[in-house]
Structure 1
Amino acid sequence: MIELEQDRNQFPREPLRLMSRVYKFILPDVRRELEGWRKVAGEIPDPELRNQALASIQTKEFHCQGGAVYAAANLPKRHVLIPLIVAFQTISDYLDNLCDRSTSMNADDFRLLHQSMLDAVNPGAETRDYYALREEKDDGGYLHRLVQTCRDNIALLPGYDAAKPYIQDLVGLYTDLQVYKHIDPSLREDALIKWWDQHKELTPHLQWNEFAAATGSTLGVFMLFLAASNESLDESSAKTIRDAYFPHVCGLHIMLDYLIDQEEDEIGGDLNFCSYYDSKEVMLERIAYIVDGARQDIKKLPASSFHRMIIEGLLALYLSDPKVSEQQEIYDVSKRLMRRSPLMRLFFFANSMWIRKRL
């Protein structure tokens, strides 16, 4: 595997250096990008589309902040990486809101909406009317502008051709997940298990809900965006990155997200992958197993200390969420996951709480 040029000179290797870049560059740049999209979203003619677009930015800003941390590993390219990551994540969050609170349960509608994400990472594809199968249609060009912003910035990534097949694979799996998890609740579990059965050779050691969780993360895509910012990226290196992130790093990301959302999802009738374990003990064991897998996988990558910070940062970010203390069972699980935490995780835990207070 090639040593990417920025591996030696750009990747922050210590938590203090990483957080210095996050505070100085990443958070301000993300805030500016989101303010721009907030203004565009506020002008959407259809009231339902406008409400969901604004809500996704308001309540899921931390998704963009977390994703944009990858730009800290190549600051000279952050003017490309941050707009790309924010636009792509904003599509994801907006569509998730639309489908979660949808006036439709039409699988074809959900697939057409999420075709926008596939088109966003495939600059040669024709864009289309992504709202053609739903009642709410007039977004004033909002979704097309997000797609085009992704494409414009991808055009500035010199190594994108090598990363493209693996990005498309991950986005394809993500799209499948969003279709199956949002259909009629009486059909979705069977559909997800049947889908997993078609792909389980990719992750034979994971249960169906854990595979599904891994497909729901955008972190592998963001890491490949970062790698593509280097012209010397080749397809072998891109595959190594994909394999290091999927399924364990990606799976950890989404399992933690579902862990803290259990009460909220139960109230909303939304699917939650952490609810399929027989007990709290089993859930804890499986999450710990995925953490161990993630730590082993990232050792394959150059600058593995950066990716170890990503893993510890994920644990800190989610386990410091205020939702944790509001759910006794989740609080108990969180305490056990944080027990004997390395200093790095405690450092990120404190920083996560500080950032939330500033929002």
Structure 2
Amino acid sequence: MSELEQGRNLSPRGPIGLMSRVYKYVLPEVRSSLNLWRQDAQGIPDPELRKQALASIETKQFHCEGGGIYAAGNLSMRHILIPLIVAYQTISDYLDNLCDRSTSLDPADFRLLHQSMLDAIHPDAEPVNYYALRSEQNDGGYLNKLVRTCQEMIRQLPGYAAAAPEIHQLAVLYTDLQVYKHIRPELRESTLKEWWEQEGHRAPQLLWNEFAAATGSTLGVFMLFLSSCDPGLSEASAASIRAAYFPNVCGLHIMLDYLIDQDEDRAGGDLNFCNYYDSTEIMLNRIASIVEGARADVRKLPENSMHVMVIEGLLALYLSDPKVSEQREVRSVSKRLMRGSPLTRLFFFANSRWIRKHLY
């Protein structure tokens, strides 16, 4: 292996190296991959499915771009990681749109739709009609193609067998969340609390809404995709990687997402996990505690510099969002979370603003 190839296999050591890879490789290739899915979505025969597929790409592109960061951890495998991450995240975003703006409130429908996310991570699973329990049926093969793309990429990851049990566990929790958070509004909170009583032992330090938020992140899955590039990955190593990401890094990711979406979710009648604290002060302290927990967890990883940057990048990405300035309470929380920020976070904050201004 040449010195250049060895360098491409190594995680970036600092924020400048990471952003260099993001600008040169990740953003252009993620957008190229998304454009192909946009073309497929434009050909979906059913008008409602087409509308939601296109909307998920247009409004949630940054989810794929954020996930694509993990391809910067092994550039020589990005031809597998980027299509895989984009396809898996596109399934997630598309189904979230379908369920958020659903013509159905049937939990069995939501579970069947999300079976696609479980099939996508099992290379030998045979896709089925995921729309069988809803009126909209004809997507022209769009969802099945997304599933098969994930499977095709996963088959090329040499260490995937070791990571598969951990990825499956995260995907099952994600699927459960999507079912319970989209059922009839009056049942959501009680059902989520019952679920937390059964599964909360996985993260005893988190409150029910924080546990639910942690299960809604795909970052742990993407990190395990990256780890699966290593043919020597063991099941023990995969378990330690999952533990470093779930629950705290994953929880931080989604709590920040909900933090900035409070007005939007209120207008849409959508559940928001930041609305279950007794005060803004308690919410701030809880998020700050999750930040510290996430930092402590990733420091246990042998190559932890990239994961420390992920945490600072999450804070920078969400707290630099224009939606922050439009909400007085969120603006106050953001200022307090950003107070005393390390240089790395400020660097990512500036880059996040530049990307939004010049690349969107």
TM-score of the pair, normalised by structure 2 = 0.97
Counterpart of 2:284?
284
Q: Which amino acid aligns with 1:178?
A: Q
C-alpha distance in structure 2 between counterparts of 1:308 and 1:225, whole Å: 18
Q: Does the 8 Å CA contact 1:6/1:230 hold for their aligned counterparts?
A: no
- Listed one character per residue, the Cα deviations across residues 320-351 of structure 1 (whole Å, up to 9, x for unaligned) are 00000000110000000000100000000000
Cα contact 1:87–1:149 (8 A) shared by 2: yes
2:294 & 2:328 partners in 1: Cα distance? 27
Q: 2:67 aligned with 1:44, yes or no?
A: no
C-alpha RMSD of the superposition: 1.2
1:337 and 2:337 matched: yes
Could you say which residue in structure 1 is the equivalent of 2:158?
158
Q: 1:159 to 1:153 in 2, by over 3 A?
A: same
**Aligned AA for 1:208?**
W
Q: Which residue of 1 aligns with 2:206?
A: 206
Distance 1:225 1:6, change over 3 A: farther
2:120 is matched with: 120
SS of residue in 1 equivalent to 2:221: helix
Q: Which residue of 1 aligns with 2:324?
A: 324
8 Å Cα contact 1:99/1:110 also seen in 2: yes
Deviation at 1:50, TM superposition (A): 0.2
| Identity among equivalent pairs (%) | 70
- Cα pair 1:6 1:73 within 8 Å, conserved: no
Q: How big is each residue's C-alpha offset from its partner over 1:10-36, in whole Å with a ceiling of 9 and x where there is no partner? A: 100100000000000000000100000
1:126 Cα shift?
Answer: 2.2
1:67-94 deviations in Å (ceiling 9; x for gaps): 0100001000000000000000000000
Cα distance in 1, alignment partners of residues 7 and 226 from structure 2: 11
Is 1:60 the counterpart of 2:60? The answer is yes
Corresponding position of 1:168 = 168
* Residues 8 and 75 in structure 2, CA contact (< 8 A), matched pair in contact too: no
- TM-superposed deviation, 1:9: 5.2
Count residues with an aligned counterpart.
355
Give how far 1:305 is off: 1.1
Per-residue deviation, residues 280-319 of structure 1 (Å, max 9, x unmatched): 0000000000000000000111221110000000000000
What is the DSSP-based 3-state SS (H/G/I as helix, E as strand, rest coil) of the residue aligned with 2:302? coil
Distance (Å, rounded) in 2 between the aligned partners of 1:29 and 1:354: 19
User: Counterpart amino acid of 1:82?
Assistant: I
Aligned to 1:268: 268
Q: Which residue of 2 aligns with 1:190?
A: 190
Q: Which amino acid aligns with 2:204?
A: P
Spell out structure 1 runs of 4+ moving beyond 2 A. Answer: 5-9
Q: Distance in 1 between the 2:8 and 2:200 partners?
A: 36
Return 5+ residue gaps in structure 1 as ranges.
none
TM-score if structure 1 supplies the norm length? 0.98
Alignment of 1:16-165 (within 5 A): 16-165=16-165
| Whole-Å separation in 2 of the counterparts to 1:201 and 1:44 | 42
The DSSP-based 3-state class of the residue aligned with 2:299 is helix
Q: Deviations over 1:124-157 (max 9, x none)?
A: 2221110000000000000000000000000000
CA deviations on 1:7-65 (whole Å, 9 max, x unpaired) are: 99510010000000000000000010000000000000000000000000000000000
* Equivalent residue, structure 2, for 1:246: 246
Shift of 1:186: 0.4
The alignment partner of 1:200 has SS state of: helix
